[in-house]
Every structure is written in structure tokens, then in C-alpha cells.
Amino acid sequence: MAEYEAELTMIPPEEIATGGVTSEMARRWQVLQHLQDRNETLFYKVLMENFVEMAPIIYTPTVGWVCSNYHKLYRRPRGMFFSAKDKGEMAALVYNWPQSDVHAVVVTDGSRILGLGDLGLNGLGIPVGKLDLYCAAAGFHPTKVLPCVVDVGTDNVALRSDPLYCGLTRPRLTGPAYYEILDEFVHAIMTRWPDAVLQFEDFQMKHALTLLERYRNHHLVFNDDIQGTAATALAGLYGALRVQGKGLEAIGKQRVVCVGAGSAGMGVVRMVAAGMEKQG
């Protein structure tokens, strides 16, 4: 813990002002990652015993800085990497994962990481951090979760030109070619682990809802941005009505303004509208 508490400048002051992540937070993330590399059992014990303090370190907001710099911070692989170059091979690739019993898979294509935009392969930091939370706070066993990234290129020119970037250095796939890759990935994952929940994380809005609707009637799929954030927002509105002494039916008389039209914002709008409709 001495290393965890030490002082070390890792982020320039101008980046702290715009991103909100301090050098202290970045350093503590790095210390925790080194601990997880050495002793995963101890890592989760420390995380569970200090969860309130460390949750913002292993996930938001620190994970945003981590994803922006993932190609510079990378030391050893976590999770599984799939790319457009693996087309036709994904059904075999999933068997490279050593665990035969996986309960939760979190996947991103890196197209909309938090409010940072297209980070390509670097977006893997989101599934890794999210599943660390699930293990520490929701009781998932670390051997039964799988973080994934599907690399279909990136439109981030700065990343494509960075020699340290590990992903495909080509523009992002779109249209039918994109959905062919995602179809193959989902089929491969759900064939090997048919009872697992597959969570889509930080996909662009133009793909997020389409993917959810594409697979929801066939597989156990979930989009945290569209469904998780929205459910929490609707619960907050119901709670506010209760504080005012009003019943749930009063939600239909409220005017709700949502700032932002990304997958989370539109998910909230859809969920609130569904709540209004349900309550008459």
C-alpha cells in the first residue's frame, strides 16, 4: 500500500483540468494492475475491502484515461482480442480461452468510449474494468467472466498513426461488412457459452440499438448504456415522485429533458417513455 499512496506525476496539469483524472488516480490504477498481475486473489481482496475508494480507480473516471493511453500502458493481455482479420476463424478462436464455464461476457468495438469517441482496440479497458466491478461488487467469480474487444478498425487518425497502437490501422468497417463480423463473433461466443450473458458496452448509437434488437430474441444480451443507465434513471424519477408524495402514475405528467443523444441518452428517453406508457 506504500506504493499505492506514493506521489508520482503521470498526467500533465492541462490534461487534469480537462479530463478530471489526476496523476494520483492514474498511479493508483497502475499499482492495482501490477498487483492483479502478481496475485489476482489479493487484488480482489484489496478491492473488496476498499471498494468505495477504489471503484473510481479501476473504472470511471480513471478508465477513460486508461483507454486513451492503453497502447502506451499495455504490459500483458487481458481478455480476448478479435478483429476483422479473424473472419471465418472466430468459432475456433473462442476455444483458446481456458475456461469452459463463462457466465458473463462484456464486449466493445471501441467506437464510443465514454465521452472520448473512437478509441479502437484501446476500448478493451472498458470491459476489463467493468468486469472487475462485477467480480468485486456483484459476486461473479473472476474465472467466469470474459472481457472482449472486436477490432474493426478505427477512424481515430492519431491512433492509426501511432507506432505503439496495437489495433488495425485502417478505417472502421461499416455497413454489412461490420455486421458480418459481429454476427460471427456473437455466434462463436454463444455457441461455446450458450448460458452466458453477453453485454454490449460503448458501441456507437447507430450500432448499439441495432445490435440489441438483432440478438435479443435469440440470446441473453444486454446493453448497459441503453438499458442499465436508463433503468437507473427511471428508478431515480420514481424515487423523486415518491419523495414528493406522488404515485408512479404521476410520471406521465412530467416533462423530461435529456441532454445528449448518444446511446445512454436515447436509452434513458426510451425507458422513461416506456415508464410513462406503462403508468398510463
Question: Are 225 and 235 within 8 A, CB to CB?
Answer: no
d(CA 165, CA 194): 33
- Residue 18: the pLDDT is 47
Angle of the 205-215 helix axis to the 175-192 helix axis, nearest 10: 40
Exactly one of 70, 130, 134, 165 is catalytic; which is it? 130
Close Cβ partners of 199 (under 8 Å, ≥ 6 residues apart): 104, 105, 106, 107, 130, 221, 222, 223, 224
Find, among 259, 269, 188, 224, the residue nearest to 108 by Cα: 224
Question: Are 47 and 138 within 8 A, CB to CB?
Answer: no
Per-residue pLDDT of the chain (280 residues; tens, 9 = 90+): 555 566 666 666 556 544 678 889 999 999 999 999 999 999 999 999 999 999 999 999 999 999 999 999 988 889 999 999 999 999 999 999 999 999 999 999 999 998 889 999 999 999 999 999 999 999 999 999 999 999 999 999 999 999 999 999 999 999 999 999 999 999 999 999 999 999 999 999 889 989 999 999 999 999 988 899 999 999 999 999 999 999 999 999 999 888 887 778 888 999 999 999 998 7
Residue 70 annotated in active site? no
d(CA 127, CA 106): 5
Find, among 200, 114, 97, the residue nearest to 150 by Cα: 200
d(CA 152, CA 181): 8
pLDDT digits (tens, 9 = 90+) for 31-46: 999 999 999 999 999 9
- Residue 264: the pLDDT is 82
- Residue 17: the pLDDT is 46
CA angle in degrees (0–180, nearest 5) for 138-144-149: 95
- Residue 263: the pLDDT is 79
Residue 130 annotated in active site? yes
- Residue 5: the pLDDT is 62
- Residue 9: the pLDDT is 63
- Residue 98: the pLDDT is 95
d(CA 203, CA 262): 10
pLDDT digits (tens, 9 = 90+) for 59-105: 999 999 999 999 999 888 899 999 999 999 999 999 999 999 999 99
Rg (C-alpha) for the chain, rounded Å, is 20
Q: Is this prediction's pTM over 0.85?
A: yes
Exactly one of 4, 44, 45, 59 is catalytic; which is it? 59
- Residue 150: the pLDDT is 98
Establish how many alpha carbons lie within 13 A of residue 235's alpha carbon, considering only the half-sphere containing its beta carbon: 6
95-99 own/partner pairs: CB under 8 Å, 24+ apart:
95/192, 97/146, 97/192, 99/143, 99/144, 99/146
d(CA 234, CA 254): 12
All three cell numbers of 194: 450458450
Phi, then psi, of 148 in degrees rounded to 5:
-135, 155
d(CA 261, CA 276): 19
Find, among 98, 83, 23, the residue nearest to 57 by Cα: 23
Question: Are 185 and 107 within 8 A, CB to CB?
Answer: yes
- Residue 188: the pLDDT is 98
Angle of the 229-243 helix axis to the 263-278 helix axis, nearest 10: 50
